[in-house]
Amino acid sequence: MIFDKPNTLELLDAVKHFLDTKIKDEVPPHLAFKLRIVENVLSIVIREIETGNDLSQEVISGLKKLVESETANIEELAHLIRDRKIDLENPELKNLLVQLSKNKIAVDNPRYSTYKKLIEST
Amino acid sequence: MKQELSGQLSDKLAKESITGEILNLEPLTGGASKEIWKFEIKSKDSISKFILRRGSGIEGPLAIKTSDEALIQKNVRELGACVPEIVAVSRVDEPLGDAYVMKFVEGESIARKILRDDEYRAALANLAFECGESIAKIHQADITDFSFLPKKTVMEQIDELYQTYVSFDQPSPVFEYTYHWLQGQDFGDLNDTLVHGDFRLGNIIVNSEGLQSIIDWELAHIGNPLQDLGWICGNSWRFGKINKVVGGFGDLEDLLRGYNSISEYQVTENNVKAWQVFGTFRWGVICLIQASAHLTGAVNSVEKAAIGRRVSETELDIVDLLFLGGK
């Protein structure tokens, strides 16, 4: 990268901090709800930059084993299920769908109740 | 804008013989697709509070007209169901647009407050029962009064949701699996009824006494009444209180006890799971629809953009229900 510091994460963090400390108490009630959404969006972007690659690779490597293809991707898996070209009762498929869903929520909303429940039970 | 709206409101209400000065017209946080305003009318000796609900002109494909929502509420109110009193209905070609005015109902609709604040703690104990009772009354409405509502069997709805999901060209292995699973389920062969379509915590008004009103009728249709029972049991509407199956506040047993105290058809817990999965899938597709309004450029909305990243919540809930023993 040719760009100077701060990096993307550091820039986003500064914006988030600004909203949290300077703006939050200033906005009227009907915008407070939207501000919270804005902060959540920033948090998603930050988590995706930090962990998105590893979380994706973990699922993709499981998928490659399952379908025995080095080029497999999520879209292809969806089509295999759509066209019934994969055994839908295969426990490995079910495990992969669980892993995929967990890894997506780990970026989108790691405080989600079902995710917390599943993490605590493992 | 506010002044113009105030004038339009005043004109509309005058036709319903409600006159007086409009005061404190303020927008409220509402659903993603409708405007909601709170206001007061000062007449000679009193001040009355009202709510204006108005369509934005950009409706989701599943939503009915705002004015039609009002007609349904008028009808079910006569059956003794817990809904706000409608005082004026405006058709889309009137100056106020597709809208209605209802009397303000004292209480709280914000889910997290209802679940958290001490004020509602006593009311929560009986709320699942009351919800069951109230929705059962709504399901007793005479559906011949609602010729304007779409009629949808569950399989038609599943297909409609699936085709909507497919149209967004974002293939999801979990949704593909869900579609296959849903097609193999028995959803119960019940007579068609009025279905609220979005009956859940967030769309009910509660005070310290208990349930006061069922609001937000934009997803109403004619279909299988069990849909409303499955929907309120979805984890999407438990707001973190995952162990309380009904809206994060109650048990399924109590909801069904309330329902069965009114309904001729006696619903069992086994009837509900397929509808929970259906409801979770439906909410996932609604999230996709909301997000697409932003993605296509129809609107630029951070709320709608953000909701695209809530689809994964529904996927996780579905795999939990199907594979991991989730309730």
- Buried b / exposed e over A83-106, threshold 16 CB at 10 Å, is eeebeeeeeebbebbbbbbbbbbb
Q: Are B32 and B90 contained in the same domain?
A: yes
Q: Is residue B234 one of the residues assigned to a domain?
A: no
- Nearest by Cα to B217 from B200, B198, B201: B198
CA atoms within 13 A on the CB side of B224: 23
Q: What is the pLDDT of residues B42-60, one digit of tens each?
A: 988 889 999 999 986 656 6
Supply the range of the domain harboring residue B243: 106-142+200-221+239-269
B320–A118 C-beta distance less than 8 A: yes
- Nearest by Cα to B52 from B42, B66, B63: B66
Q: What is the pLDDT of residues A33-88, one digit of tens each?
A: 899 999 999 999 999 999 999 999 999 999 999 999 999 999 999 999 999 999 99
**B312 chain-A contacts, CB cut-off 8 A:** 101, 104-105, 108-109
The two structure tokens encoding residue A82: 């759509």
Q: Is residue B233 one of the residues assigned to a domain?
A: no
The two structure tokens encoding residue B182: 């849903």
Q: Are B187 and B50 contained in the same domain?
A: no
Q: Given B75, B103, B131, which residue is the final one in a domain?
A: B103
Cis peptide before B171 (omega within 30 of 0): no
Min CA distance, B116 vs chain A (Å)?
A: 16
Rounded to 5 degrees, φ, ψ at B103 are: -70, 140
Q: Which chain B residue's Cα is nearest to A63?
A: B173
Q: Are B183 and B281 contained in the same domain?
A: yes
Q: How far apart are CA B278 and CA B131, in angstroms?
A: 20
Q: Are B137 and B126 contained in the same domain?
A: yes
Q: Are B10 and B57 contained in the same domain?
A: yes
Q: Would you give the end-to-end CA distance of chain A in angstroms?
A: 39
- Does residue B62 carry a pLDDT above 90? no
Q: Is residue B231 one of the residues assigned to a domain?
A: no
B316–A101 C-beta distance less than 8 A: yes
Q: Do B106 and B139 meet the contact criterion of CB atoms below 8 Å apart?
A: no
- How would residue B30 be classed by pLDDT, with cut points 50, 70 and 90? low
Listed in order, strand segments (DSSP E) in B105-207 are 193-195, 204-207
Judge whether A97 is closer than 8 Å to chain B, CB to CB. Answer: yes
Q: Are B14 and B126 contained in the same domain?
A: no
Average per-residue pLDDT for chain B: 94
The two structure tokens encoding residue B325: 């023993």
ipTM of the complex: 0.96
Q: Is residue B128 one of the residues assigned to a domain?
A: yes
- Does residue B285 carry a pLDDT above 60? yes
Q: Are B171 and B261 contained in the same domain?
A: no
Domains of chain B: total: 3
Q: What is the pLDDT of residues A99-122, one digit of tens each?
A: 999 999 999 999 999 999 999 987
Q: Are B99 and B7 contained in the same domain?
A: yes
- Does residue B319 carry a pLDDT above 80? yes
Q: Is residue B297 one of the residues assigned to a domain?
A: yes
- Does residue B84 carry a pLDDT above 80? yes
- Does residue B153 carry a pLDDT above 80? yes
**What's the pLDDT at B32?**
57
Q: Which of A97-101, B56-60, B83-87, B159-163 has the lowest mean pLDDT?
A: B56-60
Q: Is residue B90 one of the residues assigned to a domain?
A: yes
**What's the pLDDT at B55?**
87
Min CA distance, B238 vs chain A (Å)?
A: 9
Enumerate residues 6+ apart whose C-beta is below 8 A from B172.
Answer: A78, B165, B311, B315
- Which residue among A41, A81, A104 sits closest to B177, beta carbon to beta carbon? A81
A112–B172 C-beta distance less than 8 A: no
A113–B238 C-beta distance less than 8 A: yes
Q: Are B161 and B77 contained in the same domain?
A: no
Q: How far apart are CA A88 and CA B69, in angstroms?
A: 41
H helix or E strand, kind and range, residue B137:
helix B121-138
Q: Are B9 and B85 contained in the same domain?
A: yes
- Give ∠ CA B9-B10-B12 in degrees, rounded to 5: 65
H helix or E strand, kind and range, residue B24:
strand B21-28
DSSP secondary structure string for all residues of B178-240: HHHHHHT-----PPPEEE-S--STTSEEEETTEEEEE---TT-EEE-THHHHHHHTSGGGSTT
Q: Given B40, B74, B103, which residue is the final one in a domain?
A: B103
**B180 chain-A contacts, CB cut-off 8 A:** 81, 84, 88
Q: Do B317 and B326 meet the contact criterion of CB atoms below 8 Å apart?
A: yes
Q: How far apart are CA B172 and CA B193, in angstroms?
A: 32
Q: Which pairs count as long-range contacts for B153-161, CB under 8 Å and 24+ apart, including other chains?
A: B153/B223, B153/B224, B154/B187, B154/B223, B154/B224, B154/B227, B154/B278, B155/B183, B157/B223, B157/B278, B157/B282, B158/B182, B158/B183, B158/B278, B158/B281, B161/B281, B161/B282, B161/B285
Q: Are B61 and B156 contained in the same domain?
A: no
Q: Would you give the end-to-end CA distance of chain B in angstroms?
A: 47
**What's the pLDDT at B220?**
95
Contacts with B, A 10-69, CB within 8 Å = 29-30, 33-34, 37-38, 40-41, 44
Q: What is the pLDDT of residues B90-122, one digit of tens each?
A: 999 999 999 999 999 999 999 999 999 999 999
**What's the pLDDT at B57?**
62
A44–B316 C-beta distance less than 8 A: no
Q: Is residue B251 one of the residues assigned to a domain?
A: yes
**CB neighbours (10 Å) of residue B185?**
15
B29–A33 C-beta distance less than 8 A: yes
Average per-residue pLDDT for chain A: 96
The two structure tokens encoding residue B244: 């309380």
Q: For strand B204-207 and strand B193-195, is the pairing parallel, antiparallel, or unpaired?
A: unpaired
**What's the pLDDT at B33?**
66
Q: What is the pLDDT of residues B217-233, one digit of tens each?
A: 999 999 999 999 999 99
Judge whether A106 is closer than 8 Å to chain B, CB to CB. Answer: no
Q: Which chain A residue's Cα is nearest to B30?
A: A30
CATH label of the domain that carries residue B98: 3.30.200.20
Q: How far apart are CA B282 and CA B236, in angstroms?
A: 11
- Nearest by Cα to B47 from B39, B56, B55: B39
Q: What is the pLDDT of residues B239-273, one digit of tens each?
A: 999 999 999 999 999 999 999 999 999 999 988 99
Kindly state the DSSP code that residue B96 receives in the 8-state scheme.
Answer: T
Q: How far apart are CA A13 and CA A21, in angstroms?
A: 12
Q: How far is CA B118 from the centre of its chain?
A: 25
Q: Which chain B residue's Cα is nearest to A80?
A: B173
Q: Are B26 and B92 contained in the same domain?
A: yes
Q: How far apart are CA B289 and CA B160, in angstroms?
A: 12
Radius of gyration for chain A, computed over Cα atoms and rounded to the nearest angstrom: 19
